[in-house]
Structure 1
Amino acid sequence: MLSLPHPHPASTGPRHRKPLATTHHHRRRCTFTIAALILPGGGGTPRGSPPNGGKLILPGSSGGGGGGGRGGGLLPRTPPPTAPAQLYQPFHPPISPLPANFRNLDLTERLAVLRDRMGRWYEYAPLVSSLFREGFTPASIEEATGMSGVEQNRLIVASQVRDSLISDDFPEDLLHHFDSYGGPDLLYELRFLNARQRLKAARHTIARNLEAKGVRELARSMKDFPQRRGDEGWDAFDRHSAGDCLAYARFRLSREAIAKENRIPVLERSLDVVETESARARVELELERAIKKAAGVEVEEPEDDVNARPAVPVVRLMYGEISEASIVLLLPVVKETDGVEAVDLAPRRSKTDADLGIVEVDKGWARWAVLPGWAPVMAVADEAVVIELADGRVLPWRSADKERVLVVANRKRKEVVDEGIYVLEKGGKLVVERGNKLLEQGISQAAAEVVTVVRPPKDEQDVISGDEWD
């Protein structure tokens, strides 16, 4: 038998002491008798060890493998050794956005760089962002460096725009054009353009040596050009050309001039920046007509000009107008994707009780529009149908916006005449076209004639007059 002495009292937990009155106590040697001590191991049973699975058996316990009786006499087996611990991998912070020559500067030195504008502007611009991350505000940075909040924002945005220009399509020697102190003012104006537009605008800026005001005009014209689809002369200009976008913006501006002689200098400026041949021909034609008009020469207007435009009312609903109207109309609505068959299938009024305001229709329908009882709509209420268009820019007027509109049409009048505007189906969708264009295409019958166009309410009231139609 193997006898183990009780550990020394000093190495164990607290001892049970006798009362303080006792001055002497005897140290007693306590022993336990152990049947066997099996070291932890795996697999088979070592020679000379009992077949008990390597358990440490205390007196009073059962020698079986956790058999009957209370199992408190069995100590759990020591778990097998685990795999070697993985080495600690320290956290690596992301690479600092600061240039290498600024990364080791302390706070005082970084503030000094901004205060004295030491280095190129795009090199010390990231210092402003780093100060923001450390709790600085634009006001506190301005107090420490003298750099206003406007200049801080301009530096940050311009540096981001500059980084977006760095590519194989933009040589480095062109990029140096913006390294001067005025570079942030130029690049800041390109912030609203996408990556492709920025490249073209930056090249045009360098080629024309534009100042900040000119870059602003260029960027706005490029941003606005896609929104003018369908406007007068839009098809002649190339949307992928920065010069054409700017030329078209000036072309449109010339048509808004009140005095005829004021159109000439604007068109000349448009002709100065145009790039494609089709756009140049369109501007030259407009300039020739403007010169003749300014000289008092009578010029024959084309068919699609102001004098030939039909006057179809285009109205914008006002908030609360329907609830305040003395008469309202309930008209069936057809989506533009439903096709011309839906226009014919939409219900018609079969009976009206004017005293009680009860209206009966000849068939059921899912979508209806409630409109004020305007006189043009009231006159065709029995045959009226509403076509819902998702984008008002598909309509033939120059100042159309990207918004949903309702086109009220009269199904009783299908014969196309030169002065009217009609609803018909093209490519599986309902579209609105002028009568003279349909006659040129040999189309004499349409689905319905447009009575009025209704736009949704908004805070700013605007009216499209008859001469706004293309």
Structure 2
Amino acid sequence: MLSVTSNTLNLKPISPFTRDKLLFTNPPPYSSFKPLLKPISATLIPSSKPQQQQLYQPFRPPPSPLPPKFRSLDTAGRIDVLANRLGLWFEYAPLIPALYQEGFLPPSIEEATGISGVEQNRLVVAAQVRDSLVQSDTDPEILDFFDTGGFELLYEIRLLSATQRAAAARYLVENKLDAKGAQDLARAMKDFPRRRGDIAWEKFNYVLPGDCLSFMYYRQSREHKNPSEERTSALQLALDVAESEDAKIVIVKELEGDSGGEESRDGVVDGVRVPVVRLKLGEVSEASNVVVLPVCRAEEKEREILEAPWECQNEGEFGVVVAEKGWKRWVVLPGWEPVYGLRKGGVVVSFGDARALPWKVNRWYKEEAILVVADRGRKEVMADEGFYLVAVDGEGLKVERGTALKERGVVESLGTVVMVVRPPREETDDQMGDDDWE
């Protein structure tokens, strides 16, 4: 017994599972038996491994953008297709980005195929525009028009939404516009919503491409003197492309000289003789000619107008702007005709609220800052319907009508107003539904 006990004490600990097995195999007497089993747990029951939810789908490469007849070609074959223009332009255009993915650069593709980097970009973008027209269920006859060398036209309407592209494409075909005409049309359609509140804006129909283009010419006409050949020419262009009857009526009235100018009941002029334009975002950078003018605040007095520099000149091959004396505030404006001639004596006055102007303004002008461009070389108050810059005691600088000044006996002003500039603003309409391909 002692040896058995000694051997038993030297046994290694056994696991609970082994112990329970021994108890069931050789159970003790019934009187001393105490169940050691725990409640059955599902964790102890052997079961098959549950299937885990598949979080990631297996990789599926996107469908090839290449036409079926070009998919089997190797690199040399694709280059040969591009070099020899084998097929329609929208068929071989996808070969260009395919070569980019293989490591080719635009210069190397140009060297191998003769297609310049600029033309490569135009082909790729135009093909994407054409695909969007196909998805928009554009008339096949319209698409056929662009199949033979029409990528330059489609490239110009790249920044329009899918709906606008379809309307613009139809207008291009029906009116047989060239690349320059397509560019003007796209800019007019994209810019039209931003001109909300401009004179006669509501008379032009936004959904009609011709009306958008007409309004652009109509707005440009108001940047010229009335009367003048430039103004008449712009109005005639606007009338030629206008589609809606309301737009045509407005333009005809302008051509006939009935542009307003009559006083309303409250004595405020409805028609504006001075051009009022909204500066377009990026318009200064795109302008071929610009004008740099000193800026004064409307809260200041006559002294600041008199002290502002009178002349700025461009010197040297780089056109460095040199003023006759230093000044703190300057503005750069496109070389519009009314301001381009202000080589000497031009000045700009900034107003925080367009309602400070002496003509009837609508609700879109309210609380909108403006710039008033004046010519200090023309101080004499001559025209009754003209507008002049004057200084009023206790109020700072103001713009007054010629008739109001003559009634007070004022014969000389600080300068004649030649233009009113409204600030650029971001687009509020959803015109960029599609990607900007550039």
User: C-alpha displacement at 1:95, in angstroms?
Assistant: 1.3
Supply the AA of the counterpart residue of 1:304. Answer: D
Q: Deviations over 1:373-408 (max 9, x none)?
A: 6238x9xxxxxxxxxxxxxxxxxxxx9xxxx98449
Matched with 1:137 is 105
Q: Give the 3 Å change call, closer, same or farther, for CA 135–262 of structure 1 in structure 2.
A: same
Q: Deviations over 1:426-460 (max 9, x none)?
A: 89x97689xxxxxxxxxxxxxxx99779xxxxxxx
Structure 2 matches for 1:26-425, cutoff 5 A?
62=14, 65=17, 82=49, 91-167=59-135, 169-181=137-149, 183-258=150-225, 260-289=228-257, 301-302=261-262, 303-307=269-273, 374-375=300-301, 406-407=352-353, 419=358
User: C-alpha displacement at 1:154, in angstroms?
Assistant: 0.3
Q: Deviations over 1:160-199 (max 9, x none)?
A: 1111111455211211110012x11000000111112111
Q: Deviations over 1:337-387 (max 9, x none)?
A: xxxxxxxxxxxxxxxxxxxxxxxxxxxxxxxxxx896238x9xxxxxxxxx
Supply the AA of the counterpart residue of 1:468. Answer: V
Q: Does the CA-based 8 Å contact 2:206-2:212 persist in structure 1?
A: yes
Q: Give the 3 Å change call, closer, same or farther, for CA 125–199 of structure 1 in structure 2.
A: same
Q: Give the 3 Å change call, closer, same or farther, for CA 465–372 of structure 1 in structure 2.
A: closer
Q: Deviations over 1:280-314 (max 9, x none)?
A: 00011111129xxxxxxxx984433345999xxxx
User: C-alpha displacement at 1:158, in angstroms?
Assistant: 0.3
SS at match of 1:65: helix
Instruction: State how far apart, in whole Å, the 2-side matches of 1:253 and 1:144 are.
Output: 45
Greater Cα radius of gyration, structure 1 or 2 = 1
Q: Give the 3 Å change call, closer, same or farther, for CA 175–375 of structure 1 in structure 2.
A: same
Q: Does the CA-based 8 Å contact 2:298-2:397 persist in structure 1?
A: no
Instruction: State how far apart, in whole Å, the 1-side matches of 2:64 and 2:260 are.
Output: 67
Q: Give the 3 Å change call, closer, same or farther, for CA 160–281 of structure 1 in structure 2.
A: same
What is the TM-score when the length of structure 2 is the normalising length? 0.53
Supply the AA of the counterpart residue of 2:300. Answer: W
Instruction: State how far apart, in whole Å, the 2-side matches of 1:94 and 1:467 are.
Output: 55
Q: Does the CA-based 8 Å contact 2:70-2:78 persist in structure 1?
A: yes
SS at match of 1:289: coil
Q: Deviations over 1:219-278 (max 9, x none)?
A: 111111111111122121111110001111111222223461232232222111111111
Q: Does the CA-based 8 Å contact 1:421-1:450 persist in structure 2?
A: no
SS at match of 1:244: helix
Instruction: State how far apart, in whole Å, the 2-side matches of 1:95 and 1:309 are.
Output: 54
Instruction: State how far apart, in whole Å, the 2-side matches of 1:420 and 1:450 are.
Output: 18
Supply the AA of the counterpart residue of 1:204. Answer: Y
Supply the AA of the counterpart residue of 2:231. Answer: R
Instruction: State how far apart, in whole Å, the 2-side matches of 1:102 and 1:308 are.
Output: 60
Q: Deviations over 1:13-55 (max 9, x none)?
A: xxxxxxxxxxxxxxxxxxxxxxxxxxxxxxxxxxxxxxxxxxx
Q: Give the 3 Å change call, closer, same or farther, for CA 375–175 of structure 1 in structure 2.
A: same
Q: Give the 3 Å change call, closer, same or farther, for CA 79–157 of structure 1 in structure 2.
A: same
CA RMSD of aligned residues (A): 4.7
Structure 1 gap ranges (5+): 1-58, 69-76, 291-298, 311-320, 326-370, 379-398, 411-417, 434-448, 454-462
State the identity as a percent.
Answer: 40
Q: Give the 3 Å change call, closer, same or farther, for CA 244–78 of structure 1 in structure 2.
A: closer
Q: Give the 3 Å change call, closer, same or farther, for CA 467–114 of structure 1 in structure 2.
A: closer
- Work out the number of aligned pairs and report it: 280
Instruction: State how far apart, in whole Å, the 2-side matches of 1:120 and 1:189 are.
Output: 19
Instruction: State how far apart, in whole Å, the 1-side matches of 2:194 and 2:366 are.
Output: 21
Instruction: State how far apart, in whole Å, the 2-side matches of 1:289 and 1:122 are.
Output: 49
Q: Does the CA-based 8 Å contact 1:409-1:452 persist in structure 2?
A: no
Q: Give the 3 Å change call, closer, same or farther, for CA 452–130 of structure 1 in structure 2.
A: farther
Instruction: State how far apart, in whole Å, the 2-side matches of 1:464 and 1:62 are.
Output: 109
Q: Does the CA-based 8 Å contact 2:274-2:417 persist in structure 1?
A: no
Q: Give the 3 Å change call, closer, same or farther, for CA 373–85 of structure 1 in structure 2.
A: closer
Supply the AA of the counterpart residue of 1:122. Answer: F
Supply the AA of the counterpart residue of 1:163. Answer: D
